[in-house]
Amino acid sequence: MHTIDPAPVRKSVTVRAPAERAFDVFVNGMGSWWIKGHSLTESGQKTVVVEAVAGGRWYEIGNAGEEREWGHVIACDRPNRILFAWQLNADFDFDPAFRTEVEVLFEAKGANETTVVLEHRQLANYGAKAEELRGVLDSENGWGGLLASYVAKVA
Amino acid sequence: MAYEDRLFAALADPTRRAIFEHIAGRRQSVAELARTMPVSQPAISQHLKVLKEARLVRHVPSGARRIYSIDPEGLGPLRAWLDRFWSEQLAAFKGVVETADES
């Protein structure tokens, strides 16, 4: 067993929308699409707020009005790019001393088509001496790949 | 069992995987898990024991309760979880942006 530097998680999706709208829905409308179950609030997620300027806050508002920080905006260049500091540690607690980066790029492919590329990086900051688990780290689909390796192992 | 085998075995069970995902979404106690999942509390405790041995979760005491969270020492699974997490988020985003008003 030896220590590895975990590769960033990199995802992309192509949407039928101009870059400006893709950017605005992603950033200003994050509360409209963020999966509600991924929430830190006690009362359930009402919405998510991104202050789209460098140094802006990134936080969640619960149904009871409580706010939970997730991180902040490091850089913002509408409609091309936004860079977040994701500051939830492995306990999913906001920790101002902890930081990973989430970069989102909006690449116009046509008048009504945009590719959104998301990279979650600096995962080594989670501080783990990660085990080398090829089946996990090479996985493109999370558990799918994990279980495929499991099946391959036990076959 | 080698660590890797223990890890795969821990996640091969769909109920255990669901419990792990619940904890990955939000750290919580056994009682909280039992409230949101169709699994009895003793069964959840058994599953948590396996997840803990596979270094997938850990717990910290909070008064009389134990609060379970992801074990950062098991970063491989954490990364795999993040991988899936962002896939799901982008799929949800695509659904909304493509039905958003043109106005």
A41 CB near a chain B CB, below 8 Å? Answer: no
Which residues in A lie closer than 8 A to residue B98 (C-beta atoms)? 15-17
Candidates B29, B1, B70, B9; CA nearest to A128 is B70
Encode pLDDT of B44-77 as tens digits.
999 999 998 888 888 988 888 999 988 766 666 7
Chain segment B81-102, per-residue pLDDT in tens? 788 889 899 999 999 999 865 5
Best of A15, A16, A27, A113 to substitute, by most chain B Cβ atoms within 10 angstroms, is: A15
Lowest mean pLDDT among A4-8, A89-93, B55-59: A4-8
Segment A76-80 shows an average pLDDT of 97
Q: What is the pLDDT of residue A117?
A: 93
Confidence of residue A6 (pLDDT cuts 50, 70, 90): low
Amino acid at B79: R
Tell me the shortest Cα–Cα distance from B42 to chain A, in angstroms. Answer: 24
Tokens representing A26 are: 């992603």
User: A72 and A47 in contact (C-beta within 8 Å)?
Assistant: no
pLDDT of res. B10: 81
Q: Cα-atom radius of gyration of chain A, to the nearest Å? A: 17
